Structure 1
Amino acid sequence: MYPKIDFIYLSEPDIIEAGVLDAGRCVEVCEETFSLLGKGDYLMGGANHNSHGMSIVFPAKSPFPNMPVAGPDRRFAAMPGYLGGRFDICGNKWYGSNHANAEKGLPRSVLTMMLNDKDTGAPLALMSANLLSAARTGAVPGVAAKHLADPEAKTVSVVGCGPINKSCFIAIMTQLKTVKKVICFDIFQDKADEFAEWVSETYGVAAIGVNSAEFGFRDADVITVAASRLQPLYFRDEWIKEGATVLVSGPVNTDESFLTSAKIIYDHTPLHEAYVEDAIGSGDKEAYYSGVIGGPLYRLIDQGKLPLLPLSTGLGDVVNGVKKGRTEKTDRVIFIACGMSVFDISWGYELMKNAQKQGIGTSLNLWDKPYQS
């Protein structure tokens, strides 16, 4: 007899009820995930087990009338993985992205998350993942802030005032207890002002909106970067004070002098090695580097100006106490995060367990008995 298979479906309201907006708890779960990454108790896609995911990128032209063509942020991607420890589960985040979604009143990306039994492959949970993904994206620099930032930081700068950086800022603020001022930079002044008003109302600290990149970076203790891919973002070495921590969750470029003098901490060095392997395999390494967050660092590594990735430091090693993060109060630290499916899996697992305990969600049936076996 083959067993009946049921699984839980969690809508966006369901995952809100299950705790997806609990930023402090998400940081804790992501810190646990970093520890497992540092120990190697995980798998992701690709032959190297460290691929960010597999994407469909559309051509500039197509002879087929219904085939999508390239556009800003237009792609589909699957991000599979396995995570060990207490999670011991497989999963996949699947999403479609298109900047033109805004014209239809939709988010840029529409995401779902599937969790599966590691042995049978049976589905355990299918859930809305826009808020899940935003929460774990924010929690990653939240973990970095805990381990790398000056614990007495007074000024935080938000570079890019969209929903992803809002999640980053919320998570970072769960770890920093001495913040007195927040600078909000966006190329659109009204977005910067709106974000600053929200900060003041929510946290009771002074906040200002600016549309000058220099004002966004200069003299801040902690800087979270998650700006749009649609306009290049550049910051200068001279803007970054001693002891500052720059938490990068989106594309950015800077002076070579800053990257070669700052202490660089990667989210997970094998992930970045996989990016470099993909760049080589693409046949146009330079073009590939231009499209990924770590590209400016990979160029300097190729030129021998930065240590090779296997000799560099990942945040999992810092969390596990294997390597040092910040060693001096005056260190300027830059943290590079590129996104990994294991964080979606761990936070999705936590939400699934919460939902099961609270009776949240809808039970769906795959079969009572498989037609074929």
Structure 2
Amino acid sequence: MPQQHAAPSFSVISGAQVHRVLDAHHQGVVDLIETAYRLHGGGETVNPPSYFLRFPDRPSSRIIALPASIGGELPTDGLKWISSFPENVEAGIPRASAVLILNDHDTGYPLACLESSIISAARTAASAALAADRISAARGGRPARIGFFGVGLIARYIHTYLAGTGWQFDEIGVHDLSAAHAGGFADYLRQSGESGTVTVHGSAEELIRSCDLVVFATVAGTPHVTEPGWFAHNPLVLHVSLRDLSPEVVLGAANIVDDVEHCLKADTSVHLAEQRVGHRDFLDGTLHDVLTGQLRPPADRPVIFSPFGLGVLDLALGRHVYESVKESGELQVVDDFFHEMRRYG
């Protein structure tokens, strides 16, 4: 006889619950993300292309579906559904919103729906912190001068995860097209307990030239940083927003991605570089190559890390949140969510 399964249940996990599980556990989250990258590099994931829903009447906005499956100790399937509506910022609410659906490995039934803007921001920041740590170690040590280009939620999370995993900075630079937002982020940095000097820079060039670790976290849809000479001091660049750098800048640097096929599409900077030269030889490797020692990033060239953002990272972190909430006894089960459970009524 086929194996019998208990009647499935479905839960809803709020953003407040997600926050309670993840808050102040920065190193633990980074470790979870590293494990997910290693599973992905080892072929224990399924991570098909993301699907972009775009709108002719709202060209700056989009909603993205990221289906994925990850193995390991708790095999999980699922889908992240994340929207980006930049105009939300001026309306006083965050640009991005998201939910994550977790599916049971054996039956395919959905286990839970989690508020996922926090999960998405945390996995993005943890990925950036992991890459910064391992790439910097291979290049001779952690930089002490950091610059943030773009000062939204993701920039704040990246700073929090760097600080939460032991990074200290002598100088912190800030630049944004909005002077008000740049000033607000500078105030946040000072109030967060940063002891280094915080400077708001009036130009992108000034920020980049003054920093050895540069974080791009903008909503740019096309390249706007076009001068390779600005990177002549060989900084490490965390190109989280993916579309800020021109092909000339990309081709003048060593390039590391999280996944080759994912990154080289959707008009990312590395995709535009591929279209410019007609090959992918400018890619040095993946973060998995760095983690396993197959790639040693150079110290005598700029290094750009471009993470497209893998759905398996959201699944790994979302499943951790689900299990933690379940273990705490605070899982909010929706009664009778699955109603028609008899084949013949």
Q: Could you tell me how far apart the structure 2 residues matched to 1:308 and 1:332 are?
A: 13
Structure 1 stretches lacking a partner, 5+ long: 46-50, 60-68, 276-287
Among 183, 188, 200, the residue aligned to 1:193: 183
**Equivalent position amino acid for 1:245 in 2:** L
Alpha-carbon offset, residue 180 of structure 1: 0.9
TM-score using structure 2 length: 0.88
Alpha-carbon offset, residue 228 of structure 1: 2.1
Alpha-carbon offset, residue 325 of structure 1: 3.1
Query: Are the structure 2 counterparts of residues 5 and 92 from structure 1 closer, same or farther at C-alpha, using a change threshold of 3 Å?
Result: same
Matched, 1:58 2:55: yes
Among 71, 82, 93, the residue aligned to 1:95: 82
Matched-pair contact (CA < 8 Å) for 2:263–2:307: no
**Equivalent position amino acid for 2:295 in 1:** K
Aligned 1:191-270 pairs, distance under 5 A: 191-202=181-192, 203-229=194-220, 232-250=223-241, 251-254=243-246, 256=248, 258-270=249-261
Matched-pair contact (CA < 8 Å) for 2:174–2:199: yes
Query: Are the structure 2 counterparts of residues 114 and 101 from structure 1 closer, same or farther at C-alpha, using a change threshold of 3 Å?
Result: same
Q: Could you tell me how far apart the structure 2 residues matched to 1:236 and 1:8 are?
A: 50
Matched-pair contact (CA < 8 Å) for 2:26–2:165: no
Matched, 1:307 2:281: yes
Matched-pair contact (CA < 8 Å) for 1:253–1:296: no
Partner of 1:356: 326
Q: Match of 1:119, SS?
A: coil
Among 167, 181, 199, the residue aligned to 2:171: 181
Matched-pair contact (CA < 8 Å) for 2:247–2:270: no
Q: Over the residues paired in the alignment, what is the CA RMSD in angstroms?
A: 2.4
Q: Could you tell me how far apart the structure 2 residues matched to 1:367 and 1:234 are?
A: 51
Matched-pair contact (CA < 8 Å) for 1:236–1:255: no
Q: Could you tell me how far apart the structure 1 residues matched to 2:282 and 2:223 are?
A: 26
Alpha-carbon offset, residue 99 of structure 1: 2.9
Query: Are the structure 2 counterparts of residues 161 and 96 from structure 1 closer, same or farther at C-alpha, using a change threshold of 3 Å?
Result: closer
Q: Could you tell me how far apart the structure 1 residues matched to 2:84 and 2:142 are?
A: 38
Q: Could you tell me how far apart the structure 1 residues matched to 2:173 and 2:16 are?
A: 32
Matched-pair contact (CA < 8 Å) for 1:195–1:209: no
Matched, 1:3 2:9: no
Alpha-carbon offset, residue 132 of structure 1: 0.9
Q: Could you tell me how far apart the structure 2 residues matched to 1:170 and 1:241 are?
A: 28
Matched, 1:34 2:5: no
Q: Could you tell me how far apart the structure 2 residues matched to 1:4 and 1:79 are?
A: 27
Partner of 2:16: 13
Alpha-carbon offset, residue 189 of structure 1: 1.7
Q: Could you tell me how far apart the structure 1 residues matched to 2:167 and 2:83 are?
A: 37
Matched, 1:297 2:273: yes
Matched-pair contact (CA < 8 Å) for 2:79–2:100: yes
Report % sequence identity: 22
Matched-pair contact (CA < 8 Å) for 2:176–2:182: yes
Alpha-carbon offset, residue 254 of structure 1: 3.4
Alpha-carbon offset, residue 230 of structure 1: 6.1
Query: Are the structure 2 counterparts of residues 25 and 197 from structure 1 closer, same or farther at C-alpha, using a change threshold of 3 Å?
Result: same
Query: Are the structure 2 counterparts of residues 229 and 21 from structure 1 closer, same or farther at C-alpha, using a change threshold of 3 Å?
Result: farther
Matched-pair contact (CA < 8 Å) for 1:4–1:368: no
Alpha-carbon offset, residue 91 of structure 1: 1.2
Partner of 1:72: 60
Q: Could you tell me how far apart the structure 2 residues matched to 1:301 and 1:23 are?
A: 39
Deviations 1:124-164 (A, max 9, x none): 22110111111111111111101112523110011111111
Structure 2 stretches lacking a partner, 5+ long: none
Q: Could you tell me how far apart the structure 1 residues matched to 2:94 and 2:338 are?
A: 33
Query: Are the structure 2 counterparts of residues 308 and 217 from structure 1 closer, same or farther at C-alpha, using a change threshold of 3 Å?
Result: closer
Alpha-carbon offset, residue 234 of structure 1: 0.9
Q: Could you tell me how far apart the structure 1 residues matched to 2:90 and 2:60 are?
A: 13
Q: Match of 1:161, SS?
A: coil
Q: Match of 2:323, SS?
A: helix
Matched-pair contact (CA < 8 Å) for 1:217–1:235: no
Q: Could you tell me how far apart the structure 2 residues matched to 1:212 and 1:176 are?
A: 29
Q: Could you tell me how far apart the structure 2 residues matched to 1:361 and 1:138 are?
A: 26
Q: Could you tell me how far apart the structure 2 residues matched to 1:255 and 1:82 are?
A: 32
